[in-house]
């Protein structure tokens, strides 16, 4: 693969993620192991032109309303476009794997491809989750055997929610069907309920945290339950189905 092809692919994934939430997991998955560009200097030894562990990496920061952002770029072209808009910026730069950059910038806010049509901010909590292999923005809860919840159809479903979920689930071959409803917990908490029918529960929702589905739920939570195929499952009988994998 030519040297520029990985950079072009990462930019393509970033553009897709900016326009379609269902495309965000693919971008996040590719990003961590990609080589990115940062403005700054490095006093250690480069390996194949890339910063590795060890040495001191000094990175140019963006001052944003008395707060600081660490910029990085998908490609040299993206970095040059930024420098053209900010000619006062020191143009010295290095290449570093995104994982190494995230490790070195724990606690910071970062932004990829600032001042471009397609970019993304990363907060410290999201970076920590990605480095740990966790799903950012996702919490896990175990229902007790005697805990009763109320499940039914949602009175209102945001129009884009089923469409984005469908595109996300269609990328996961182990998912056979999905139902979307409403759930009320004993403590009064309520929100949308996604019931995913999958033969492999471990991979059915992999990457879902990157979708940032809260943007589409009008601020309501979305509880996700993954169940094996069973036509008699009460959740499947109560929450309306919106997705069925095409078996052709």
Q: So where are the chain's domains?
A: 4-132, 150-244
| Cβ–Cβ < 8 Å for 45, 56 | no
Look at residue 136 in the predicted model and tell me its pLDDT: 83
Q: What is the pLDDT of residues 101-111, one digit of tens each?
A: 999 999 999 99
| Cβ–Cβ < 8 Å for 167, 22 | yes
Ranked by mean pLDDT, the top range of 133-137, 229-233, 239-243 is 239-243
Kindly state the percentage of the chain with pLDDT values over 70.
95
Mean pLDDT of 137-157: 77
Look at residue 25 in the predicted model and tell me its pLDDT: 94
Encoding tokens for residue 222? Answer: 């979305």
The predicted model scores a pTM of 0.85
Distances in Å between the Cα of 148 and the Cα atoms of 18, 38, 116, 183, 236 are 39, 51, 49, 11, 16
Mean pLDDT of 62-86: 91
**Taking Cα atoms as reference points, which of 204, 195, 186, 190 lies closest to residue 234?**
195
| Cβ–Cβ < 8 Å for 119, 70 | no
- CA of residue 103 relative to chain centroid, distance: 18
Residue 36: pLDDT band (50, 70, 90) is very high
Mean pLDDT of 57-82: 90
Give the pairing type, strands 221-227 and 190-198.
parallel
CATH number of this structure's domain 150-244: 3.30.70
Distance CA 177, CA 195 (A): 9
Encoding tokens for residue 171? Answer: 């990328």
Residue 184: pLDDT band (50, 70, 90) is very high
Encoding tokens for residue 24? Answer: 């965000």
| Per-chain mean pLDDT for the chain | 90
Distance CA 126, CA 129 (A): 5
**At a CB cut-off of 8 Å and minimum separation 6, what does 237 contact?**
none
Look at residue 182 in the predicted model and tell me its pLDDT: 95
Class for the domain spanning 4-132: alpha beta
Paired with 18 in beta bridges are none
Read off the DSSP letter of residue 62: E
Look at residue 1 in the predicted model and tell me its pLDDT: 42
The sign of the CA dihedral 58, 62, 63, 68 is negative
Q: What is the pLDDT of residues 79-100, one digit of tens each?
A: 999 999 999 999 999 999 999 9
Distances in Å between the Cα of 194 and the Cα atoms of 88, 154, 202, 226, 227 are 50, 11, 16, 8, 11
């Amino acid at each position: 693969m030519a040297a520029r092809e990985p950079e072009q692919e990462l930019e393509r994934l970033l553009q897709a993620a900016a326009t379609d939430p269902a495309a965000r997991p693919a971008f996040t998955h590719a990003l961590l192991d990609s080589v990115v560009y940062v403005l700054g200097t490095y006093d250690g030894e480069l390996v194949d032109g890339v910063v590795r562990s060890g040495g001191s990496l000094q990175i140019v920061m963006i001052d944003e309303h008395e707060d600081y952002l660490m910029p990085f770029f998908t490609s040299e072209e993206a970095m040059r476009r930024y420098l053209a808009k900010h000619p006062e910026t020191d143009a010295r730069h290095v290449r570093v794997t995104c994982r190494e950059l995230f490790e070195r910038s724990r606690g910071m806010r970062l932004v990829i491809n600032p001042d471009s049509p397609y970019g993304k901010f990363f907060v410290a909590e999201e970076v920590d989750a990605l480095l740990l292999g966790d799903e950012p923005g996702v919490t896990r809860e175990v229902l007790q055997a005697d805990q009763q919840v109320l499940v039914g159809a949602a009175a209102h479903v945001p129009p884009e929610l089923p469409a984005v979920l469908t595109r996300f689930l269609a990328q996961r071959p182990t998912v056979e069907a999905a139902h979307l409803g409403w759930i009320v917990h004993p403590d009064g908490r309520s929100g949308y309920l996604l019931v995913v029918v999958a033969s492999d529960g471990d991979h059915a929702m992999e990457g879902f945290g990157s979708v940032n589905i809260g943007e589409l739920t009008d601020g309501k939570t979305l509880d996700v339950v993954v169940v094996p195929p069973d036509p008699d499952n009460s959740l499947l009988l109560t929450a309306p189905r919106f997705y069925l994998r095409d078996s052709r």
